[in-house]
Structure 1
Amino acid sequence: MKNRAALIAAVLLAALAPAVALADSDKTTVGDCHIGAYRLADGSLVDIGASTGQALRWRRFDGTTGALTQGADGVWGSTRGWTGKPDGHQVRFGACGTGELSFDGQAAHRQDFDVTDTTFQGAGVKLAGRLVLPKGAGRVPVVVLIHGSENYSARDLYSLQRILPAEGVGVFVYDKRGIGASEGKYTQDFETLADDAVAAMGEARRLAGPRAGRMGFQGGSQGGWIAPLAATKTRADFVISSFGLLISPLEEDREEAALELKLKGHSQAEIDQAMDVVDAVGVYVSSDLKTGYDRLDALRTKDKAEPWYKDLHGNFTWMVLPLSDAEAKAKASELVMGTPWRYDGMDVERRLNTPQLWIQGSDDLQAPYAETRRRLDALAAAGKPITRAVFPHTEHGIYEYELDASGERQSTRNADGYFAMMRDFARDGRLNGTYGDGTVTTPKRAMAASGQ
């Protein structure tokens, strides 16, 4: 997530992806012999994962991270987060196959897991998955990881498949349909994707056998819509929604566009005017590009000289605005992907009694959380077992950030406590103690705040 512009250019619904989407032409370090979770001499964890180009990426359990590139002397130097700024960390790897490295002079040994690769039947297509369990014979909780809208293989690039097992929590990771080694056509049809997640849960349960303890879903971004829906279709002990939403994709585009204009200093009257354009885009795309273009074109022609127009972005409005009707229809495969534009997540939540953890970033531009927070608190106050957590100064992906000289956000790390929060909820069904600077609202606290 080097900057927001790079993120949104890579995926249509960029707010629904947990990290930078990779173009088909991008080279990665997938398959590098050094990839793995390493236990340092002091007992702490450092994960080495694939990245773009010739780089690797390290992550610590506290959320710190950096990109690693190899120097002429064989030492891998690090840059902080996605900023490209040297941070002073150095890694030396042992020979391939030894599972040894030195991180800032501290020796580390790669952790061994019980890993089973599999192919299983999703909703009409074969999907490629992987079960990763901590070594041993005892029961462990298992988290089924649900994709965001990104176009890369989760099996190749999701670091949680190592970070959580290193902390005693099993993971089932799979490539969504049309991505990686999975068959089928890419879609954003939530019902279909939820059916695939249910199939993944069944396969994880089958492979884990007697080792399967508590089992649940974790979904990031778009996966935050899918995970609760999947839990209404099968038995799940918990749901974790990371930087997800309880508003529809159309509402999400509207909220994002309004928030961006507000941050750019535009007045409420200007924002209200801009929302007419956003709503016209919504009518057009939600009709599968069949109706609404004439009104959109008329508004665009009338308003394009307004001072706010150049700052009108949103989640997908930006992609539609420059296009003629013919150009949009030529890009239909990118604009019409089965997205349930008016999806009602509240209907799902009213039917769901599974314990849930919702983790949100206070400064998330791509999935603005204000209305989602209000709805979650109302559900919790009504007795739903929903725990909500917010990390300050974090954006989409629960990434902390800094601003570069041009004002673009540069992600620096995950918030301290983010990984621990997911581990603990999967393991215990509740949060214990503090999690960095995160603020936690439990169901009991929500009920007390509402006067119940």
Structure 2
Amino acid sequence: MSRSWFAVALAIASSVVAAPAMAQFPGGDAGARPDPAAVCHVGLYRLADGGWVDVAPIDGKGLRWRRLDGSTGRMTQDAEGRWTSTRGWTDRVEGPQPQLGSCAEGRLVFEGQVGERAAWNAQETTFVGHGGVRLKGRLILPPGDGPAPIMVEVHGSEAASALDFNAYQRFAPASGVGVFVYAKRGSGGSEGRYTQDFHILAEDAAAAVREARRMAGNRAGRVGLHGGSQGGWIAPLAASLTPVDFVSVGFGLAYGALAEDSDQVMLDLQAKGWGPDVLEKAREITAATGAFTASNGRIGFAGLEAVRARYGAEPWFADIKGEFTGMLLNAPNEQIMALAPKFDVGTSWDYDPLPVLNALNTPMLWIQAANDTEAPPEATRRRLVDLSAQGRPITVLEYPNTDHGIIRFEIGPDGRRSEIGYAPGYFQAVLDWARTGRLDPAYGDGRFLARAGGTAR
């Protein structure tokens, strides 16, 4: 989700300070590039049975394959040219073992079926976002000459170019849904500086909607916004700036960025077995770290030092992590302030999405991960269900046993989660919402908590 400037500083200084380096440099993946030895294989491969396998680049060596049913694996090639696939994000060599031909062949063998790489009519463009910044974009429409729905893809907090790494730009057109994807400012050849200012990013997304409509012309059917994670703040805000037909959000939050850290701290402590009395004290701590964060350190360290002195000797103090609180509690003040100014990315800490969600008349689909450790869903669930019950056009679909990204997991004997794939039905729900704005009764084991114009199930 959001990455704070001091979390960046601490991650960089982690070799010097004995503090948990939980967060990454915001935009530290801005230099991420597809594996040059494998990028020629990137594409969508159509199988004889009518299905497809998408082969996508990753940050690092190899590739990632995905299917509409949510199955996925990481592919790496050995010296003899044979590909090995590990299940989900694990190191377990199991499940399908796709084999790619040469780059020139454009072929893939998947469980006995031969797939041919599909060709798309992709149109490149440059358009103007907030402040006159020029952004690079791409429109990909499904085959044909009739109107098609179009999803404008809104980034999460990553700074790597979506032109390289967004997979919807291939598999959505294969399912009859067009996609407009763009490189956010400061990435992929787009001008500007990386930022987490939600208002600036929303204006960029609204400009992307207008550019998608212009490029599609009479082929533009339903046009809407689709965002994940941090995009859950930005997509509805963009929809308030320009007309759209739909919004879909995956694993986002319907409350502010500071509350994200506080809820993560509570989850960390509960996982360690601490009770309500400890959680009450921990909220005092997150109030202090949140105030420090929202002011970009301008209020000084008095609040941090006070909670360190009051609770630093408590047995539960070391179990505090969160988005940034654990790092603030453990790093020397001088180190935080020495490094932090270089990495202020303008995060909208004071943004409350409720007024936008309450006023927006655009149909919205929110897909939540029931066991999300990065964006704890409880408060978002309550807020969205309440808004839907009050008549707002919000549908909420939640998947059990999934974490951030709507990713299924297994729990090992050591209590750790192993991520094994996306929830079946998740991709289909996103595509159906773009196509018609209506959802079928069942999408895997997802459970509808609220339906626009209806009741929770």
Instruction: Establish whether TM, by shorter chain, passes 0.5.
Output: yes
Shift of 1:117: 1.4
Within-5 A mapping of 1:13-412: 22=29, 24=31, 28-29=35-36, 32-124=39-131, 125-333=133-341, 336-404=344-412, 406-412=414-420
Q: CA distance change for structure 1 residues 345 and 10 in 2, over 3 Å: closer, same or farther?
A: same
Counterpart Cα distance in 2 of 1:396 and 1:11: 19
Shift of 1:11: 5.0
- Alpha-carbon contact 1:228-1:349 (below 8 Å) kept: yes
Q: CA RMSD in A?
A: 2.2
Query: Would you say 1:10 and 2:3 are equivalent positions?
Result: no
- Alpha-carbon contact 2:30-2:187 (below 8 Å) kept: no
Counterpart Cα distance in 1 of 2:140 and 2:114: 24
Aligned residue for 1:343, secondary structure, equals coil
1:143 maps to a residue whose letter is: M
Runs of 4+ in structure 1 deviating by more than 4 angstroms, as ranges, are 5-8
2:115 maps to a residue whose letter is: A
1:80 maps to a residue whose letter is: R
Aligned residue for 1:291, secondary structure, equals coil
Aligned residue for 2:223, secondary structure, equals strand
1:10 maps to a residue whose letter is: Q
Deviation string for 1:69-90 (max 9, x for gaps)?
Answer: 1133322110001111101422
Q: CA distance change for structure 1 residues 175 and 25 in 2, over 3 Å: closer, same or farther?
A: closer
- TM-score normalized with structure 2 length: 0.91
Shift of 1:22: 3.4
More deviation, 306-315/388-397: 306-315
Counterpart Cα distance in 1 of 2:135 and 2:146: 28
Which consecutive unaligned segments of at least 5 residues does structure 1 have? 14-20
Shift of 1:406: 4.8
Identity of aligned residues (%): 47
More deviation, 338-347/383-392: 338-347
- Alpha-carbon contact 1:285-1:336 (below 8 Å) kept: no
Shift of 1:274: 1.6
Counterpart Cα distance in 2 of 1:334 and 1:413: 37
Which consecutive unaligned segments of at least 5 residues does structure 2 have? 1-10, 12-19
How many positions carry a matched residue from both structures? 437
Counterpart Cα distance in 2 of 1:243 and 1:131: 25
Match of 1:18 in 2: none
Match of 2:439 in 1: 431
- Alpha-carbon contact 1:91-1:102 (below 8 Å) kept: yes
Aligned residue for 1:87, secondary structure, equals coil
Deviation string for 1:116-166 (max 9, x for gaps)?
Answer: 111111112111111111122111000000000012111111111111111
Match of 2:17 in 1: none
Shift of 1:220: 0.5
Shift of 1:207: 1.1
Shift of 1:346: 0.7
Counterpart Cα distance in 1 of 2:33 and 2:416: 23
Match of 1:16 in 2: none
2:56 maps to a residue whose letter is: G
- Alpha-carbon contact 2:87-2:93 (below 8 Å) kept: yes
Match of 2:451 in 1: 442
1:201 maps to a residue whose letter is: V
Shift of 1:196: 0.2
- Alpha-carbon contact 2:140-2:179 (below 8 Å) kept: yes
Shift of 1:23: 6.9
Counterpart Cα distance in 1 of 2:231 and 2:157: 8
Q: CA distance change for structure 1 residues 103 and 333 in 2, over 3 Å: closer, same or farther?
A: farther
Shift of 1:186: 0.9
Counterpart Cα distance in 1 of 2:366 and 2:401: 17
Counterpart Cα distance in 2 of 1:12 and 1:265: 32
Deviation string for 1:384-432 (max 9, x for gaps)?
Answer: 1111000000001100112356543232111000100000000001111
Counterpart Cα distance in 1 of 2:417 and 2:57: 23
Shift of 1:255: 1.2
Counterpart Cα distance in 2 of 1:182 and 1:407: 42
Counterpart Cα distance in 2 of 1:22 and 1:185: 14
Q: CA distance change for structure 1 residues 70 and 121 in 2, over 3 Å: closer, same or farther?
A: same
